[in-house]
Amino acid sequence: MSGLFAPGSVGSPAADATSDPALLEALLAAESALVRARAAVGLAPPDVAAAVTEAAADVGRFDAEDIASRAREGGNPVIPLVAALTSAVPAEAAAHVHRGATSQDILDSALMLLSARTLDLILADLARTERALAHLASAHRDTVMPGRTLTQHALPTTFGLKAAGWRSLVLDARDRLIDVRAGLPAQLGGAAGTLASFRTEGEFGRGGEALLSAFARELALCAPVLPWHTLRTPVADLASALVLTAGAHGKLAADVLTLSRTEIAELSEGEGGGSSAMPHKANPVRATLIAAAARRAPGLAATLHASLVAEDERPAGAWHAEWEPLRDLLRLTGGAARDGAELVAGLRVHTDAMRGNLARTGGSITSERVAALLTPVLGGTAAKKLLTEAATRAHAEGRTLASLLAEEPALREFDVTALTDPAHYTGYAGELTDRALERR
């Protein structure tokens, strides 16, 4: 895949980990793991397991393009791969390649192995992002900025609290990915999920359950209680965790995109991207790519969730529909995690712009505080009316709220300048930031 339409994931660790060569390697790893597991429970000679493992380890001898082309004949790439692997091993080992398994056993196990490797890479990027966000939150614990609701100035907040919120989402994603990663299962059920072929070779305790455990150990995956050919919880859970991770980065990106606007300019990317037509621009490219991934991810997850509706003991179409969306979702999320780590590490915080934007409403951003203090003096209705009129005049006349309130006889005993200072009305933002940073 060239990646011309995938700048958000191209070159990322996740893209490499989910490439066709990586998938081919995972399929071969699953096939060789099965033979080693059979040897571990006495169903295959150890020298046969060694021979198959040696052949499967030479990934370069297998033509991925040819296997992909021949996959049309049986509907999946495992069938031609098994033929190629069988031809590559010594004659005495050929009968043990893929013995007792079905194509879905190998492909599901390979996809779980591929997912495990990719999740490890994503988690590493999340750790980088978390550390950078913790630093931002701590450094800007008391950096006051406008809080915005429904696109408008609402109340003062702090950039530290905003960064702590981003970090909280990243940690939520991390925790979910860790849980899912720990539970990714191998797949082994045979043709119809009964392990029948293995029972013909020995007692169930040795030929079935023990074999499944040995197979899972070989792949460093979990041993499931049941074959899950049509019980697709592992894939649905993985999809949910990935879309949560993409969305967590999407929230961060959405805020950066808004606050990077020329007329706001409270944040900027460390290395903005250029424009093909406008030399003056430094576009927030990483945030843009993350936002694109976050918008695509739910649709991919929806396909994977829809595949929970899988008929019979092996489905026609539901299983096949998972492969590309799962790989795309791993890549999108991995790319977003890579870009998120780079974005946060280089993010520039423009505190002067934050202070300037706070002043744009002339202190009206503190009207809630002033209303609360004036209500006992003037009464609730009168206080609200006074502040509404004063805020309207302040905007129309280009004056500060404090200058207008200072003209009110009933307010002569109040320090209206201090009352309308946004820095004095950030609530528990600092304490909330501290509390959030206690989470490790």
Tokens coding 246: 């993409």
DSSP states along 190-206: TTTTS-HHHHTTS-HII
H or E stretch including 151?
Answer: none
Residue with tokens 């918008």: 295
Classify each residue of 268-292 as buried b or exposed e, where b means 16 or more C-beta atoms within 10 Å of its C-beta.
bbeebeeeeeeeeeeebbbbbbbbb
C-alpha 22/C-alpha 52 separation (Å) is 19
Phi, psi torsion values for 222, nearest 5 degrees: -80, 155
Catalytic residue among 174, 232, 314, 338: 314
In three-state secondary structure terms, 184 is coil
Q: Determine whether 117 is an active site residue.
A: no
DSSP for 368-427, written as a single string:
HHHHHHHHHHH-HHHHHHHHHHHHHHHHHHT--HHHHHTT-GGGTTS-HHHHT-GGG--T
| Active-site option among 69, 72, 261, 275 | 275
Assess whether 295 carries a catalytic annotation. Answer: no
How is the chain split among helix, strand and coil, in percent rounded to 5?
65, 5, 30
- Residues 219-240: b if buried by 16+ CB within 10 A, e if exposed: bebbbbeebbbbbbebbbbbbe
CB 216 within 8 A of CB 223: yes
The one-letter amino acid code at 310 reads A
Q: How far apart are the first and last CA of the chain?
A: 38
CA dihedral 121, 338, 429, 402 (to 10 degrees): 180
Token duo for residue 79: 């069938």
Conformational region of residue 438, where left means phi above 0, alpha means psi within -120 to 50, and beta covers everything else = alpha
Distance of CA 143 to the CA centre of its chain: 28
Question: Distance between CA atoms of 106 and 114, rounded to whole angstroms?
Answer: 12
Active site residues: 275, 314
